[in-house]
């Protein structure tokens, strides 16, 4: 046992030590930060009885870059690229949330065309994020092939991003007040072509996994979290919806142009890993629906609103949140009237969702911890910021 | 010497039965070399097939279509530093891979590639195979213990628990097939590998179709158990990368590690040979009774040659599709040479004495190849079981099913 | 198949068996003892083959070397070795025990030498090709009840082992 | 090599006796219970060798018996090791001379 | 010969069904369960019909031999390793086949077991439709069918015993089907334990036969028994047959082991119909009939069987007169009818007994199923005092029950008349003398039977409605799956008797002729025994000229009529709080009958010891209590007494101890002992290896001694 591990164990509310084989009591195992299945640099201290998990403690901060602090020394526009580095697999969503928050603070209205373009790109990014999640999650559980399939299809999305803004991952696609770039020639056709291309591919993932006995056995009844616990812990996103709560910010507090879109919010019942898997697959399909509608209705007009060269929002504070692929992504910005924000606080979905890990894995086996970390869909860049 | 050769070509017994130490030695060498080559080929095939399952290309650089990749790998492994952990038990650490290797290769003594193509035919053939292959558990345990490290030890315990558990279901499935051999007028069964195939010949059916679906279920049980026995996906828990890094051979590197791999693939081929021998008629060609007669014999005996000619044709098509850049000159020439060699072998296989001699082996290897392909297919398709689920499958599903099949086989044998 | 080079293989295997036996009782590390025991068991399996008992040899390998020894290794691993390695290996009686055992061995040899004339040379022809079938006939015919009792014994042993080893039943 | 002569039953008996004596020495002198159990296996194997040597003279009965002996050995090993585990759990030792709870 | 050659499939079908239920039942739909289980029994029935039909042809060609099909040797081997010595010192192989035998006797059982079983399975799909444990119920039923078929089709006593125990087990499981009900599980235990007593008798009888005849196969035993080597009245055969009869008593609920059967009504009604009325309880009859060659060699046993049968008949019938639970009435009726069957067997009229089994199976199954239908309609109410006036509301049930009642009461031309009359006539004409008393007993029983059965009908279907309003509202006819079997059984209850239409009424009694190959040799034995009357009766019957037979026939019909009349008079208009005639005439008798002659209480007093006589407890618990008393009083008393004495003496001895012992002896001796004890310690010093060493040294000594002696 590493020496400092004991320090954290004092926080654990663990029951009476259970007697185990040969009187060896609990085993304390350190998982990560260098572990192939922790999706980055998460460190989990596990308290085990044989293979049964008695409790966990997450140690985070290995990827802390002080994003929130940096914001205090940058102008509003300068800080925009930084948010892409939080949830780097869903950079577009991060940018959208930040831009909308600042616009709200400054009282700028993005033009409708910009809203539609933003929506298309964000939903594409949601599909990409879910695809990446599916591939790695399946790989954790031992199914190697889906990874390659999802990455192949994600590549198409990245190509669209690259054509639009020149970057594939950390796109910095949006600006405060709209988008900087007009869509390129054939953007609509390419997006529609992608939608047509990816629909059967999602069925293909389902063919590989949904009715696969081993997959079902590994995921059904694993990492169950109840609706009550979800709400108590502030869990959001697909995890919350898989526990049966129909809560989606796109429906509940519509932003961009989501109010004009027709889509459904898929939910599960059992709140187990299998349901979360199904919910995310369904969400990918819904995203495709949104993209189709948005491309169809894409209005003409300017793409960037009139924005002052130097942004000096009035004194005040604002909280704005959007539905990122992983859950509610919120920005709380306090302005002192200068060109730089007084304080920026990010409510990252991964960070909040990670709290649920302990409740989900207690009483399960070690192998399930990996499945559960996978199913929470965390990105350490966002957790640590 | 020619007399010696002709006598050999005309004899229809294994060297062991004939008591010919010379031919036995030759066979040992051939089998050893052949299995080693087969393992390398299997390695390449697995990487290629798996890659194509996963919409990748796999090895492409070393040799045409990566054909020489196994050789490159072998050279790499041979020249790597041989690291022995300082806290390890040196002797046991050294011994473990050897035991696994010996256990896997020794089983080939009784594998009948054809009526006359086995090193020897033991009275206890199948028992010998099961026994010797079960010795590899020792190697696993030793490797895990000798590394003096947690992950290997856990992996070794898991893997040996798994192997020991699945051996039971496997043994019961085997017994039900052995029981089927006793369904002759004299009522005497046999454990001899050649005897089992001959029993299938005499009963005019492969045992997989005997008492349908009993034989089929028994083969199913065996096929699942053998995957678990060889620690392959979806039962590859001991090597679960996301949990235990690489299992019992985490601390091994270089040549020793390659010995483990060699042993693992050899064991895969060995258990597949058991399945083929017991249920799929061993070296018997398809439909020996339905499509009987000399002309059919002739047709089926052309298969090996045709296969090699086909492979050669594929190679030449590949030559045609090679980029015409001087950069690829050597590769193109190599592929053409490879095709030529394949074609030459194909032509040689059409010579009547060789043809008659070789077709047993061809059918046997073809059937084993089906199983090898299945191994790869499983790996591409299935997620990994959890350890408790794995044990549940072994003890609560396979074992009762195997027992039931055994009982029903016995009942059916009495009644029909 | 007639055994080849009987004399050579007998002495080779016998030597290995005795070597293994000596190692079993002298090693400090129990794992090494177990490995030495495997050596002995496998050599004995070879000797059984030379005695026209292939089935017993097979059973010896699959049961002893495969099953029982894995059990041993498991236990040795679960029970700490480092501690017992540092302790005194032989008990207080070792000298007396050694003498008694050697006396017993000497006695055996003496008896063999004295009664050498009593052993006839190879009376029956054992057919290797029908060994398994012959044993099966005896096992399920003549020794049927013994066989059943053996199965009962194994059942009792399973229950006993589980009761002994499992903490919570 | 032939100078050593044909291998007779006596050779096997002597080998068996040697193994038997080794086993007895192990049982009588070692402190580690696991090794004592292994020595018992040695003794049983010596007996098996005797049975098989005689079975060459008198027919298959000896082989059948040796199978029963192997069965017994399996049962004995299972129970014995179970006892060892229970013992180790309670006393944290595997030394046979520390099992003296019954001694007054 | 397809069916005949594969006769082993008949029991295997339901076994397969049971296995499927056992392994997969929990996961199957109710519909699937019904299809599999009913289908398996239907297959078995069809197969049985085919086999019996083919047996006819086979028997013609083979001198009416029993047909045997031996699958394999089940116990023992062919190699002669398991021989044992019989009574005359010869060696016989201990051997039992897994073999099947078909002759007229087993054919009859085969047909009605599978036939009635099939109907009851169909009925159960309706009756149990809303119960939990559906698959379990059908699994048990199928297992029962398998065991029962094994019992009647086995070709030796050992296999019969397997079936015998199998049906016992299934009976236990099914009586205790509602295991959460204490009464049900107690009843199941009772049935099982009482049956154990009988089974012990059967087992001993079987061993005696094996020892005496050297074989357990019916064919061998019958051949030897009929060979004339054995005297009539051979004591060992008498003992063997008496022991077998003990077994039959247990299974077929005869005095004194009948107590379990009324309690067995705790099980679901179809179970009562199938197991505890139609099939399993007739196993005893089957066994005695199967051993007829032995029984005729033992007149004492025959007499015992007849007397026990007659006593049981009247005993149970009299209890049945006053019971109020509809199923209990039927249960006592079953016991009583079984008594009839044994009476017939006991007087040598095997065919008549078997005939009664056959007809009884139909009408009693019908009665039980009808009762089940009534209970179903009454929402679970079983007490007849709370019924009444149901005839209009559940007409099909009413009609079928009425037919069955007419049949059991012996009204011509319903089935019961023929068989019952045959038994009474055979009893009358068998030997004369004291046997006439048995006839009288049977006759009175017939009267009682008619009375209590019509009492049941009137109380249930006529009179004023006496149930709660709530219940009355819910009364409805049962579903088709229940009424169709009722109708089929009703048809059988009418017609089954016509197979044995006696000569005296112008028939040909085909039933008895069919059984001739099984019982043919008995006539010869009777001749040697000098039972002239029996022979004469048989011959007279052939000539059908005995006027007395018509007289008796008329008498028994008249008795049935009287029973009907009495019941009608007292119960036809019963309203709430109606008066029981017996209670008014003779209250003590009524109380005795109501309490079933206090037999259960007596058993509790004498055998189980659940009740005390005064302060004394007898029986098993008494034994326990006695030993506890001995322990508490004698042993502990001794201990305490010893303690008191010790305390006294302790005081004395402490002084003694202090000065003499400690001072002089102990300390003094210890000084001497300590060095001396070193040698003794060598024997026991707690090191296991030391003991091993001693063993080795001893071994050395022994071998040395014997080698160089």
Q: Give the CATH architecture of domain D9-95.
A: Orthogonal Bundle (1.10)
Distance CA E463, CA E391 (A): 10
User: Cβ neighbours of residue A180 under 8 Å, at least 6 residues apart?
Assistant: A165, A174, A303, A304
Contact D28 E688 (CB under 8 A): no
Range from A152-156, B157-161, E209-213 carrying the lowest mean pLDDT: B157-161
CA dist E44 and E154 (Å) reads 16
Nearest beta carbon to residue A145 from set B380, B385, B386? B380
Query: Quick one: pLDDT at residue D47?
Result: 92
Average pLDDT, chain E: 84
Read off the pLDDT of each residue in D69-96 and give the average, rounded to a whole number.
Answer: 84
C124 in a structural domain: no
Structural domain count of chain C = 2
The Cα–Cα gap between C6 and D56 comes to 15
Contacts of D77 (CB under 8 A, 6+ apart): C68, C71, C72, D37, D41
pTM, full prediction: 0.68
Q: Examine the domain organization and report whether B138 and B272 are in the same domain.
A: yes
Mutate one of D3, D5, D12, D15 to test the C interface: name it (highest C CB count within 10 A). Answer: D15
Instruction: Assess whether B209 and B108 both reside in one domain.
Output: yes
Q: What is the mean pLDDT of residues E319-332?
A: 88
Ordered by start, the domain boundaries in chain D are: 9-95
Q: Residue E141 has what pLDDT?
A: 92
Round to whole Å and give the CA distance between E33 and E39: 10
pLDDT at A11: 45
Q: C81 and C2 in one domain? A: yes
The residue of chain D with its CA nearest to that of A23 is: D89
Rounding to the nearest 10 degrees, give the CA dihedral for residues A143, A145, A149, A152: 120
> What is the H or E stretch that residue A27 is in?
strand A27-31
Same domain, B130 and B277: yes
Alpha carbon separation from E419 to B57, E295, E413, E537, E562 (Å, rounded) = 88, 22, 11, 17, 20
Nearest to B130 by CA among B158, B110, B115: B110
In contact, E221 and E213? CB cutoff 8 Å: yes
Give me the CATH number covering residue C39: 1.20.120.1200
Contacts of E128-137 spanning 24+ positions with Cβ under 8 A = E128/E268, E128/E270, E129/E30, E129/E479, E131/E268, E133/E177, E134/E30, E134/E33, E135/E21, E135/E25, E135/E26, E135/E28, E135/E30, E135/E33, E136/E21, E136/E25, E136/E177, E137/E174, E137/E177, E137/E268
* Lookup: tokens for A336: 């002192």
Which secondary structure element, helix H or strand E, spans residue E74, and what is its range? strand E67-75
pLDDT in tens, B66-117: 888 888 888 888 888 888 888 888 888 888 899 889 888 888 888 888 887 8
Q: Is residue C148 part of a domain?
A: yes
Q: Read out DSSP for B370-401? A: HHHHHHHHHHHH--PPPHHHHHHIIIIIIHHH
Q: What is the pLDDT of residues A264-285, one digit of tens each?
A: 888 888 888 999 999 999 999 9
Could you tell me the pLDDT band of residue A110, with boundaries at 50, 70 and 90? confident
- CA-nearest of E404, E398, E414, E413 to E363 is E404
b or e along A165-188 (b: 16 or more beta carbons within 10 Å of the residue's beta carbon)?
Answer: beeeebbbbbbbbbbeeebeeebe
Q: What is the mean pLDDT of residues A78-107?
A: 87
- pLDDT tens digit string along B298-322? 888 888 888 889 989 988 888 888 7
> Does the residue C61 lie in any domain?
yes
Is C164 in Cβ contact with D32 (below 8 Å)?
no
Put simply, whether A310 touches D (Cβ < 8 Å) is no
User: Is the N-terminal amide bond of A33 cis, ω within 30° of 0?
Assistant: yes
> Residue B128 sits in which domain range?
90-284+400-415
- Is residue B399 pLDDT above 80, yes or no? yes
What contacts B224, CB < 8 A, 6 or more positions away? B169, B393, B398
Cβ–Cβ below 8 Å for C78 and A22: yes
Q: Which pLDDT value is given to residue C123? A: 60
Of residues D96, D100, D103, nearest to E689 (C-beta): D96
**pLDDT greater than 70 at residue B354:** yes
- Predicted-complex ipTM score: 0.71
Asked if pLDDT for residue E42 goes beyond 90, the answer is: yes
Quick one: CA torsion of E34, E40, E45, E48, rounded to 10 degrees? -170
Q: Which residues of B55-92 are buried (b: 16+ CB within 10 A; e: fewer)?
A: eeebbeeebbbbbbbbeebbeebeeeeeebbeebbeeb
What DSSP letter does each residue of E267-278 carry, written as one string?
A: S-HHHHHIIIII
State the residue for tokens 């031992």: A142
Q: Do chains B and D touch (3 or more CB pairs under 8 A)?
A: no
C117 found inside a domain: no
Better-predicted residue by pLDDT, E510 or E12 = E12
User: pLDDT at position E521, please?
Assistant: 57
Residues 6+ apart with CB under 8 A from E258: E249, E312, E316, E335
Per-residue pLDDT averaged across B196-205, rounded? 87
Q: Which residue has the higher pLDDT, E543 or E269?
A: E269
Task: Provide the 3-class DSSP secondary structure of residue E429.
Answer: helix
Lowest mean pLDDT among E123-127, E153-157, E525-529: E525-529
Query: Are B75 and B99 part of one and the same domain?
Result: no
Q: Nearest CB to D85: which of C75, C91, C108?
A: C75
Q: What angle do CA E641, E642, E647 make, to 5 degrees?
A: 100
What are the residues whose beta carbons fall under 8 Å from the beta carbon of A7, sequence distance 6 or more? none
Under 8 Å between Cβ of A369 and A343: no
> What residues of D are in the A interface, CB distance below 8 Å?
85, 88-89
Question: Alpha-carbon distance E445 to A347, whole Å?
Answer: 93
- Looking at the structure of chain B, the number of domains it has is 2
Cα(E177)–Cα(E180) distance, integer angstroms: 8
Least CB–CB distance from B124: residue in C29, C35, C55: C55
Contact between A364 and A372 (Cβ < 8 Å): yes
- Grouping H, G, I as helix, E, B as strand and the rest as coil, residue A44 is strand
How close is the nearest chain E Cα to the Cα of C107, in Å? 7
DSSP letter for B113, please.
S
B179 and B70: one domain? Answer: no
CB atoms within 10 A of CB A21: 14
**Interfacial residues of B (vs C; Cβ cutoff 8 Å):** 16-17, 19, 21, 89, 91-92, 95, 120, 122-124, 127-128, 130-132, 134-135, 137-138, 141-142, 145, 153, 157, 160, 164, 167, 188-191
Alpha-carbon distance E575 to E569, whole Å? Answer: 13
**Pairing status of strand A174-175 against strand A178-179:** antiparallel
Give the mean model confidence (pLDDT) for residues E587-616.
Answer: 78
Instruction: Return the pLDDT at E646.
Output: 85
What pLDDT was estimated at residue E286? Answer: 92
In this structure, is residue B273 part of a structural domain? yes
Q: What sign for the dihedral angle of Cα C93, C95, C98, C104?
A: negative
Instruction: Give the neighbours of chain D: at least 3 Cβ pairs within 8 Å.
Output: A, C, E
D-chain residue closest to C157, CA distance: D75
- Contact (CB, 8 A) for E477 and E388: no
* Structural domain that includes position C9: 1-86
Domain boundary among the residues C28, C55, C86 is at C86
Q: Report residue E84: phi and psi, to 5°.
A: -140, 165
Task: Say whether residue B414 is in contact with chain E using an 8 A CB cutoff.
Answer: yes
Q: Is D100 on the interface with E (CB under 8 A)?
A: yes
* Among the listed residues B146, B134, B137, B281, the one whose alpha carbon sits nearest the alpha carbon of residue B219: B281
Whole-angstrom distance, CA of residue B89 vs CA of residue E596: 83
Chain B contact probe: residue of A31, A50, A209, A214 with most B CBs at under 10 A: A214
User: Does the residue C105 lie in any domain?
Assistant: no
Q: What is the spatial distance between Cα C37 and Cα E600, in angstroms, rounded to a whole number?
A: 68
Of the listed ranges A60-64, A96-100, E677-681, the one predicted with least confidence? E677-681
Contact D9, D56 (CB under 8 A): yes
Quick one: average pLDDT of B288-302? Answer: 81
What pLDDT, on the 0 to 100 scale, is given for residue D20?
92
Please choose, from the candidates A281, A282, A383, the residue with its C-alpha nearest in 3D space to the C-alpha of residue A39.
Answer: A383
Asked whether residue C134 falls in the same domain as residue C81, the answer is: no
Q: Which chains have 3+ CB pairs within 8 A of B?
A: A, C, E
Q: E528: Cβ–Cβ under 8 A, 6 or more apart, which residues? A: E232
> Which residues in chain E have their CB less than 8 angstroms from residue C142's CB?
79, 81
Residue B123 has pLDDT above 60, yes or no: yes
Do B256 and B149 share a domain, yes or no?
yes
Tokens of B353: 């004495």
- Dist. CA A150–CA E669, nearest whole Å: 93
For the cut 60, the answer to whether the pLDDT of residue D76 exceeds it is yes
Would you say residue A21 has pLDDT above 60?
no
Q: Tell me, yes or no, whether B53 and B183 share the same domain.
A: no
Q: Shortest CA distance to E504 belongs to which of E534, E538, E477? A: E538
Q: Is C116 on the interface with E (CB under 8 A)?
A: no
Residues 6+ apart with CB under 8 A from E496: E358, E359, E362, E415
E92 conformational bin, left if phi > 0, alpha if psi -120 to 50, beta if neither: beta
Residue B372 is encoded by which pair of tokens? 């090898």
């Amino acid at each position: 046992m590493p020496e400092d591990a004991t320090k954290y164990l004092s926080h654990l509310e663990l029951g009476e030590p259970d007697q185990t084989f040969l009187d060896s009591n609990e085993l304390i195992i350190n998982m990560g930060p260098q572990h192939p299945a922790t999706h980055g640099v998460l460190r989990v201290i596990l308290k085990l009885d044989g293979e049964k998990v008695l409790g966990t403690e997450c140690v985070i901060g290995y990827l802390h870059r002080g994003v929130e602090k940096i914001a205090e020394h940058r102008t509003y526009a300068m800080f925009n690229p930084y948010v892409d580095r939080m949830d780097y697999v869903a950079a577009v969503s991060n940018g959208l949330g930040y831009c909308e928050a600042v616009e709200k603070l400054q009282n700028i209205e993005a033009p409708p065309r910009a809203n539609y373009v933003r929506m298309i790109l964000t939903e594409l990014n949601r599909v990409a994020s879910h695809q990446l999640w599916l591939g790695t999650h399946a790989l954790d559980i031992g199914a190697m092939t889906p990874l390659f399939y999802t990455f192949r299809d994600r590549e198409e999305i990245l190509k669209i991003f690259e054509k639009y803004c020149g970057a594939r991952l950390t796109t910095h696609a949006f600006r405060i007040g709209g988008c900087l770039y007009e869509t390129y020639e054939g953007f609509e056709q390419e997006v529609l072509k992608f939608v047509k291309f990816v629909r059967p591919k999602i069925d293909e993932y389902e063919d590989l996994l949904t009715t696969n006995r081993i997959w079902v056995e590994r995921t059904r009844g694993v990492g169950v979290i109840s609706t009550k616990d979800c709400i108590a812990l502030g869990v959001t996103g697909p995890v919350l919806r898989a526990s049966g709560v129909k809560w989606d910010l796109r429906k509940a507090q519509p932003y961009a142009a989501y109010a004009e879109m027709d889509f459904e919010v898929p939910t599960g019942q059992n709140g187990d890993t299998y349901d979360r898997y199904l919910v995310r697959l369904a969400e990918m399909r819904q995203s495709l629906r949104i993209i189709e509608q948005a491309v169809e209705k894409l209005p003409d007009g300017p793409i960037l609103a009139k924005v002052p060269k130097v942004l000096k929002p009035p004194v005040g504070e604002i909280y704005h949140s959007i539905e990122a692929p992983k859950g509610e992504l919120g920005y709380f910005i306090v302005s002192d009237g200068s060109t730089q924000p007084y304080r920026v606080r990010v409510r990252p979905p991964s960070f909040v969702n990670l709290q649920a890990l302990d409740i989900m894995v207690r009483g399960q086996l070690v192998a399930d911890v990996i499945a559960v970390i996978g199913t929470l869909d965390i990105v350490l860049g966002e957790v640590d910021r | 010497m020619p007399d010696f050769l002709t006598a050999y070509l005309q004899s229809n017994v294994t060297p062991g039965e004939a008591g010919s130490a010379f031919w036995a030695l030759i066979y040992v060498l051939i089998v050893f070399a052949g299995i080693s080559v087969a393992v390398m080929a299997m390695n390449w095939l697995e990487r290629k097939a798996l890659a194509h399952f996963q919409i990748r290309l796999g090895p492409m650089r070393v040799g045409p279509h990566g054909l020489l990749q196994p050789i490159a790998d072998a050279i790499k492994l041979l020249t790597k530093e041989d690291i022995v952990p300082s806290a390890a038990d040196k002797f046991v650490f050294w011994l473990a891979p050897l035991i696994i290797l010996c256990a896997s290769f020794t089983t080939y003594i009784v594998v009948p590639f054809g009526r006359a193509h086995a090193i020897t035919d033991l009275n206890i053939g199948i028992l010998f195979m099961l026994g010797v292959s079960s010795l590899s558990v020792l190697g696993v345990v030793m490797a895990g213990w000798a590394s003096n490290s947690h992950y290997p030890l856990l992996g070794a315990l898991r893997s040996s628990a798994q192997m020991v558990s699945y051996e039971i279901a496997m043994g019961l499935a085997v017994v039900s097939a052995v029981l089927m051999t006793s369904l002759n007028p004299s009522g005497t069964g046999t454990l001899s590998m050649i005897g089992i195939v001959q029993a299938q010949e005499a009963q005019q059916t492969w045992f997989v179709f005997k008492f349908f679906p009993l034989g089929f279920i028994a083969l199913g049980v065996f096929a699942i158990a053998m995957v678990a026995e060889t620690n392959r996906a979806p039962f590859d828990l001991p090597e679960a990368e996301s949990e235990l890094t690489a299992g019992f051979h985490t601390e091994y590197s270089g040549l020793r590690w390659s010995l483990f791999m060699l042993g693992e693939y050899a064991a895969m081929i060995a258990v597949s040979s058991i399945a083929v021998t017991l249920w799929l008629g061993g070296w018997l060609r398809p439909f020996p009774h339905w499509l009987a007669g000399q002309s059919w014999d002739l047709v089926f005996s052309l298969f090996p040659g045709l296969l090699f000619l086909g492979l050669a044709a594929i190679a030449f098509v590949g030559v045609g599709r090679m980029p015409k850049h001087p950069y690829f000159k050597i590769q193109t020439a190599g592929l053409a040479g490879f095709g030529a060699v394949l074609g030459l072998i194909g032509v040689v296989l059409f010579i009547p004495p060789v043809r008659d001699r070789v077709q047993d082996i061809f059918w046997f290897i073809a059937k084993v190849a089906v199983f090898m392909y299945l191994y790869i297919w499983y790996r591409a398709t299935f997620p990994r079981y959890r350890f408790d689920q794995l044990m549940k499958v072994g003890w609560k599903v396979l074992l009762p099913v195997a027992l039931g099949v055994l009982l029903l086989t016995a009942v059916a044998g009495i009644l029909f | 198949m007639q055994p080849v080079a009987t004399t050579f293989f007998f002495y080779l295997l016998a030597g290995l068996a005795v070597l293994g036996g000596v190692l079993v009782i002298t090693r400090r590390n129990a794992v090494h003892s177990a490995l030495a025991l495997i050596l002995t068991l496998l050599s004995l399996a070879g000797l059984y083959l030379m005695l026209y008992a292939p089935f017993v040899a097979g059973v010896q390998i699959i049961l002893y070397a495969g099953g029982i020894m894995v059990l041993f290794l498991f236990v040795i691993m679960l029970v700490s070795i480092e501690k017992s390695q540092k302790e005194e290996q032989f008990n207080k009686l070792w000298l007396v025990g050694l003498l008694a055992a050697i006396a017993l061995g000497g006695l055996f040899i003496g008896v063999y030498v004295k009664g050498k004339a009593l052993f006839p040379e190879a009376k029956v022809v054992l057919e290797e090709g029908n060994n398994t079938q012959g044993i099966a006939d005896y096992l399920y015919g003549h020794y049927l009840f013994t066989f059943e009792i053996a199965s009962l014994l194994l059942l009792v042993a399973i229950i006993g082992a589980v009761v002994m080893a499992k903490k919570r039943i | 090599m032939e100078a050593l002569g044909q291998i007779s039953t006596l050779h096997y008996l002597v080998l068996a006796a040697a193994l038997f004596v080794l086993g007895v020495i192990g049982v009588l002198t070692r402190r580690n219970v696991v090794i004592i159990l292994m020595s018992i296996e040695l003794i049983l194997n010596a007996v098996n060798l005797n049975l098989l040597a005689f079975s060459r003279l008198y027919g298959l009965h000896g082989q059948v018996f040796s199978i029963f002996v192997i069965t017994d050995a399996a049962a004995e090993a299972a129970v014995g090791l179970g006892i060892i585990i229970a013992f180790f759990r309670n006393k944290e030792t595997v030394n046979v001379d520390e099992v003296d709870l019954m001694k007054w | 010969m397809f069916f005949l050659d594969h006769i082993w499939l008949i029991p295997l079908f339901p076994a397969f069904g049971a296995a499927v239920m056992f392994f997969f039942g929990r996961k199957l739909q109710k519909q699937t369960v019904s299809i599999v289980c009913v289908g398996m029994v239907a297959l078995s029935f069809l197969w049985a019909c085919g086999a019996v039909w083919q047996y006819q042809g086979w028997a013609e060609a083979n001198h009416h031999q029993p047909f045997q099909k031996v699958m394999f040797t089940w116990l023992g081997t062919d190699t002669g390793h398991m021989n044992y010595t019989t009574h005359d010192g010869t060696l016989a192989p201990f051997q039992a086949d897994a073999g099947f035998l078909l002759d007229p006797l087993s054919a009859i059982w085969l047909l009605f077991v599978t036939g009635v079983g099939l109907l009851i399975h169909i009925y159960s799909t309706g009756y149990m439709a809303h119960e939990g444990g559906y698959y379990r119920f059908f699994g048990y039923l199928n297992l029962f069918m398998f065991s029962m078929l094994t019992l009647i089709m086995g070709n030796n006593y050992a296999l019969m015993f397997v079936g015998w125990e199998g049906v016992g087990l299934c009976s236990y499981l099914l009586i205790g089907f509602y295991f959460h009900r204490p009464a049900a599980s107690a009843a199941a235990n009772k049935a099982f334990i009482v049956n154990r007593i009988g089974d012990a008798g059967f087992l001993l009888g079987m061993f005696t036969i094996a020892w005496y005849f050297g074989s357990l196969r019916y064919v061998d035993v019958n051949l030897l028994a009929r060979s004339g080597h054995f005297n009539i009245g051979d004591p060992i055969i008498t003992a063997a047959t008496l022991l077998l009869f003990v077994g039959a008593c247990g299974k077929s609920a005869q005095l004194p082991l009948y107590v379990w059967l009324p309690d067995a009504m705790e099980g679901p009604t179809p179970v009562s119909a199938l197991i505890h009325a139609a099939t399993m309880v007739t196993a005893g009859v089957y066994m005695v009939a199967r051993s007829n060659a032995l029984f005729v060699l033992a007149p004492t046993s025959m007499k015992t069987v007849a007397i026990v049968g007659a006593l049981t008949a009247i005993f149970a019938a009299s209890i049945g007169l006053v019971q109020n639970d509809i199923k209990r009435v039927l249960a006592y009726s079953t016991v009583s009818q079984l008594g009839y069957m044994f009476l017939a067997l006991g007087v040598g009229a095997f065919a008549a007994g078997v005939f009664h089994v056959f007809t009884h199976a139909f009408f009693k199954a019908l009665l039980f199923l009808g009762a089940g239908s009534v209970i179903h309609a009454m929402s679970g109410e079983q007490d007849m005092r709370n019924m009444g006036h149901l005839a209009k509301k559940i007409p099909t049930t009413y009609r079928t029950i009425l037919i069955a009642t007419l049949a059991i009461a012996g009204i011509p031309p319903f089935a019961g008349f023929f068989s019952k009359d045959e038994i009474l006539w055979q009893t009358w004409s068998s030997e004369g003398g004291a046997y006439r008393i048995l006839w009288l007993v049977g006759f009175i029983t017939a009267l009682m039977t008619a009375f209590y059965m019509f009492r049941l009908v009137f109380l249930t279907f006529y009179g004023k409605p006496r149930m709660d309003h709530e219940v009355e509202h819910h009364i409805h006819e049962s579903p088709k799956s229940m009424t169709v079997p009722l109708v089929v059984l009703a048809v059988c209850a009418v017609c089954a008797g016509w197979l044995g239409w006696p000569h005296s009424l112008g028939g040909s009694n085909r039933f008895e002729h069919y059984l001739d190959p099984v019982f043919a040799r008995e006539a010869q034995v009777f001749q040697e025994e000098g039972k002239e009357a029996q022979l004469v009766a048989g011959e007279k019957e052939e000539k059908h000229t005995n006027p007395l037979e018509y007289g008796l026939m008329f008498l028994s019909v008249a008795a049935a009529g009287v029973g009907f009349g009495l019941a009608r008079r007292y119960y036809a208009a019963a309203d709430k709080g109606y008066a029981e005639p017996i209670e008014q005439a003779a209250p003590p008798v009524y109380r005795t009958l109501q309490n079933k002659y206090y037999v259960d209480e007596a058993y509790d007093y004498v055998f189980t010891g659940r009740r005390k006589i005064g302060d004394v407890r007898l029986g098993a618990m008494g034994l326990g209590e006695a030993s506890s008393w001995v322990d508490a009083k004698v042993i502990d008393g001794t201990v305490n007494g010893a303690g008191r004495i010790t305390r006294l003496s302790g005081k004395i001895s402490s002084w003694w101890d202090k000065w003499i012992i400690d001072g002089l002896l102990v300390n003094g001796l210890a000084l001497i002992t300590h060095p001396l004890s070193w040698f003794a310690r060598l024997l026991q010093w707690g090191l296991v290896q030391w003991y091993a060493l001693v063993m080795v040294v001893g071994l050395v000594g022994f071998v040395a001694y014997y080698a160089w002696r």
